[in-house]
Amino acid sequence: MKKGFTLIELLIVVLVISILSGFVIVQMIGAANSAKDAKRKADIDVIKNALVSYRAEHYSTGPVQVTQCNIGSGCTNLDSALQSFLGTAPKDPNGTSYNYQTNADGSTCTITAVLSNGSAYQYSCATDSYNNVQVINGNCGVSSAFSLDANNSGLCNAGTSGSFNGTGPWTWTCLGTNGGTNKGCTATVSVSDLACSVTSGSCSGAVIFKMVDSSGGHAETPSQNNFSYKVCCTGTGIGNDCSATHNAVALRLSSATDAHVEENTYNNYASANNVCLSSGSGNVTCGYATDCSTLGTGYVGLASINTDTNAHVGNLGAFTTKVCCRIQ
């Protein structure tokens, strides 16, 4: 008579089979996640190459999207600008979209994919590099993602406080690099949604001043109607009122029209012909540099001038010195 398996033996066999099946399933999931992450990184590279081509033709600036948006479905400026370089934007393997975001003038930008482990794989056009970044919740305590008017110390529960720039208010974020191994808190200046461009068409925002030609020439105040090219700025509460509580002189003009221009630190021209950028809330500052980003976070280029006084003015590509303003 054959001896059958005991209940204990059967349970042991079932347990062994379950354990082996678990190993196989984990390995299959891991392989699938690795394949998805490889595609995500390849997709980011494809979008990056299209963006590099666009930036090469637009003075190293990307299409402005100050709020993070979904590439291919929610990035209006980017999707339109990259159509000829990219065609149809790739999608995440799970059917979601990759993300894109810039600063106020498009001089810095990021393209981001979320990997299978929850970390972010990100391309930065400012450094032309790829990074793995993971959000570490709580390391900045209750201050994380809050806007603070004072650069108080001791706000981070882990890591080291980043350097403060500008005059505030600051928005705190908490990030970890290398998959979260290195933790730290940073404080960055909160900036407005200011964006400016030179156009000969209609302006949906505020006309700051006008110019005879986008490639360089004389200027006139916004109330004049002799020149067709306009420096048009958009954003919350943006205007051209020199008497507003929050305003700054962008340029001084020698006359109301057909005028030479000079930087706001000179006093050769009557103040009645100043052209100003104003805001309904934030403080406004204007300065001059070959690269607006060197003046600090949030500076946006309005136009360019060929010298500091008795100058001609054109769009950002006309001359080396840029007219830069910031609202914070």
Say how far apart CA 16 and CA 41 lie, in whole Å.
Answer: 38
pLDDT of the residue at 206: 95
- In 3D space, the residue among 145, 53, 58, 64 whose CA is nearest the CA of residue 102 turns out to be 64
pLDDT for 306-327, tens place per residue? 999 999 999 999 999 999 998 8
pLDDT of the residue at 76: 86
Tokens of 270: 């009557």
Q: Sort 314 into a burial class: Cβ within 10 Å, 0-12 / 13-18 / 19+.
A: buried
Tokens of 112: 């981001």
**Coil, helix or strand for 143?**
helix
The residues pairing with 303 across neighbouring beta strands, listed in sequence order, are 323
Q: Which domains does the chain have, with CATH numbers?
A: 36-132 (3.30.1300.70), 136-190 (no CATH), 195-327 (no CATH)
Tokens of 220: 């006139």
- In 3D space, the residue among 256, 260, 193, 267 whose CA is nearest the CA of residue 220 turns out to be 256
pLDDT of the residue at 225: 95
Cα 28 to chain center, whole Å?
Answer: 38
- Would you mind telling me the total number of residues written for the chain in this entry? 328
pLDDT of the residue at 3: 59
pLDDT of the residue at 138: 36
Which segments of the chain does DSSP mark as H helices, in order?
Answer: 7-56, 76-81, 83-86
* Residues of the chain where predicted confidence (pLDDT) is lower than 70: 1-5, 23-30, 118-119, 133-192
Say how far apart CA 299 and CA 315 lie, in whole Å.
Answer: 16
Say how far apart CA 253 and CA 272 lie, in whole Å.
Answer: 9
Say how far apart CA 301 and CA 105 lie, in whole Å.
Answer: 7
**Pairing mode of beta strands 261-262, 129-135:** unpaired
**Coil, helix or strand for 54?**
helix
Alpha-carbon distances of 26 from 20, 22, 50, 234, 318, rounded to whole Å:
10, 6, 36, 52, 59
pLDDT of the residue at 154: 43
pLDDT of the residue at 129: 85
Say how far apart CA 304 and CA 28 lie, in whole Å.
Answer: 57
pLDDT for 101-156, tens place per residue? 888 888 888 898 888 876 678 888 888 888 776 544 433 333 333 334 444 444 44
Q: Which helix (H) or strand (E) holds 195?
A: strand 195-199
Q: What is the largest CA-CA distance in the chain?
A: 117
pLDDT of the residue at 134: 52
Tokens of 82: 């990259």
Identify the residue whose tokens are 């980017």.
Answer: 78
Contact 211, 164 (CB under 8 A): no
